[in-house]
């Protein structure tokens, strides 16, 4: 079955042939393979830090990128340079043309970026790779890595038009990263029916991490990463890694003119958690990219949550980048302001929206909260670094 989704075309035939034409670089190192709805990028960043702290040369593949495509490929926490990326791109592009000739269909953009990462890791002679899945698990290009551990973070209702309409169906799709005989650790999903679905796929290879009593996103993934690191005999990860849009130490104060928190939360579960964590008065800046059913995706967060008195003003904007186009700001405002008494402030340009938020926050004497799309994080990061004459590559470094 041909399953297309915004530039992604699930199935392994194209990527298998592409990698074969490059002598299967993904088999030159062992990998930890991570799937899940929320937290998988954060967990991968922590695991990369733990491996590096243990003296290993580590490759980190994550998606999507915030500002530059090179971000998808990091070695020892640092984004590879553009020249190296382009050299590998040339090799992949030539092989992709051959694949297209033989199969009548060239590899997708995502498959090509994954292949570039595998070439980069192989040429750099890494000891270990940390690999984040793109979409789901089964049929994802990353399933071709040589994994000696598979991990599932959370199971939420994301990409329902591709993965299924229930958490059980989505769990089954994400559990598709399982390989026979390879341990798979899952962060307890909270619902026994979801865990049972994963167990049906993983069988005796399944291990369950019960989680902790701590109601702290960052702390939870740090603890989970430490648990995994210990099983490999590694040092613990560094807690204050730099993970834009996720880590509590980001953004650095020099980038913005007001106290600001910026979250990459973009689906219902992530938004709900992030919104409910706001306790002090704030200016909310929000923009999202299109989903199959926007109203359904935001159902949990379009009711009383939006009307909390902590939101002094809400500014609605549109991310300029991303796999999917942005939701029209007026359409999003209609959802958010259905029961609010005040009027929305709509500014489609996210950089102008940020400047307005900074002015409002100074006038109101409160902070700014940004959320809604990982691509909005990228827009604001790029703008802020350029405004401060900073070094983008240094701001994208995850760990030393």
User: Comparing 366 with 6, which gets the higher pLDDT?
Assistant: 366
3-231 in CATH: which number? 3.40.1190.10
Give the residue with greater pLDDT, 345 vs 270. Answer: 345
- Distance, in Å, from the CA atom of 197 to the CA atom of 39, rounded to the nearest integer, reads 20
- Please state the pTM of the whole predicted model: 0.90
Could you give the C-alpha distances from 25 to 108, 111, 149, 267, in angstroms and in order? 18, 14, 19, 34
Q: In CATH, which superfamily holds the domain spanning 253-395?
A: Mur ligase, C-terminal domain (3.90.190.20)
Please indicate whether residue 6 or residue 286 has the higher confidence score (pLDDT).
286
Give pLDDT, residue 146: 98
At residue 273 the predicted structure's pLDDT band, cuts being 50, 70 and 90, is confident
Residue 9 has pLDDT above 70, yes or no: no
φ and ψ at residue 3, rounded to 5 degrees? -115, 105
Matching fold, domains 3-231 and 253-395: no
As a whole number of angstroms, the distance between CA 300 and CA 81 comes to: 41
- Residue 272 confidence (pLDDT) above 90: no
pLDDT attached to residue 341? 75
Q: Kindly report which listed range (54-58, 212-216, 233-237, 261-265) carries the lowest average pLDDT score.
A: 212-216
pLDDT beyond 50 at 3: no
* pLDDT value at residue 7: 44
What would the mean pLDDT of 203-217 be, rounded to a whole number? 86
In this prediction, residue 2 carries a pLDDT of 34
Domain parsing of the chain, residue ranges = 3-231, 253-395
Structure confidence by residue, pLDDT tens digits, 136-150: 788 899 999 999 999
Calculate the CA 246 to chain-centre distance: 9
Question: What number is the average pLDDT over the span 176-197?
Answer: 92
Both tokens assigned to 35:
């799937």
């Amino acid at each position: 079955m041909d399953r297309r989704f915004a530039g992604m075309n699930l199935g392994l035939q194209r990527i298998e042939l592409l990698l074969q034409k490059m002598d299967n670089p993904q088999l030159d190192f062992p990998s930890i393979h991570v799937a899940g709805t929320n937290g998988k990028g954060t967990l991968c960043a922590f695991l990369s830090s733990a491996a590096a702290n243990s003296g290993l040369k580590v490759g980190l593949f994550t998606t999507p990128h915030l500002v530059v495509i090179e971000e998808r490929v990091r070695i020892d926490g640092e984004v590879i340079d553009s020249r190296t990326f382009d050299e590998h791109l040339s090799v992949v592009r030539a092989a992709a043309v051959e694949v297209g000739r033989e199969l009548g269909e060239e590899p997708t953009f995502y498959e090509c970026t994954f292949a570039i990462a595998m070439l980069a890791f192989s040429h750099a002679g890494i000891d270990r790779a940390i690999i984040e899945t793109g979409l789901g698990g089964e049929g994802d290009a990353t399933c071709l890595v040589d994994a000696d551990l598979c991990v599932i973070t959370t199971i939420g209702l994301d990409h329902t038009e591709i993965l299924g309409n229930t958490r059980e169906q989505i769990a089954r799709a994400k559990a598709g990263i399982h390989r026979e005989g390879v341990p798979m650790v899952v962060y307890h999903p909270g619902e026994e029916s979801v865990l049972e679905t994963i167990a049906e796929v993983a069988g005796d290879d399944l291990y369950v991490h019960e989680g902790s009593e701590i109601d702290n996103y960052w702390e939870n993934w740090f603890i989970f990463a430490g648990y995994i690191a210990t099983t490999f005999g590694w040092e613990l990860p560094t807690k204050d890694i730099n993970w834009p849009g996720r880590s509590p130490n980001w953004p650095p104060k020099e980038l913005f003119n007001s106290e600001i928190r910026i979250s990459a939360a973009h689906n219902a579960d992530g938004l709900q958690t992030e919104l409910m964590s706001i306790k002090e008065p704030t200016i909310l800046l929000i923009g999202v990219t299109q989903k199959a059913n926007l109203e359904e995706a935001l159902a949990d967060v379009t009711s009383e949550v939006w009307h909390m008195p902590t939101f002094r003003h809400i500014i609605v904007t549109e991310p300029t980048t991303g796999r999917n186009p942005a939701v029209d700001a007026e359409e999003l405002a209609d959802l958010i302001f259905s029961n609010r008494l005040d009027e929305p402030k709509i500014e489609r340009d996210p950089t102008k929206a940020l400047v307005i938020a900074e002015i409002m926050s100074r006038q109101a004497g409160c902070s700014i909260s940004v959320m809604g799309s990982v691509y909005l994080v990228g827009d604001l990061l790029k703008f802020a670094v350029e405004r401060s004459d900073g070094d983008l590559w240094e701001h994208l470094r995850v760990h030393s």
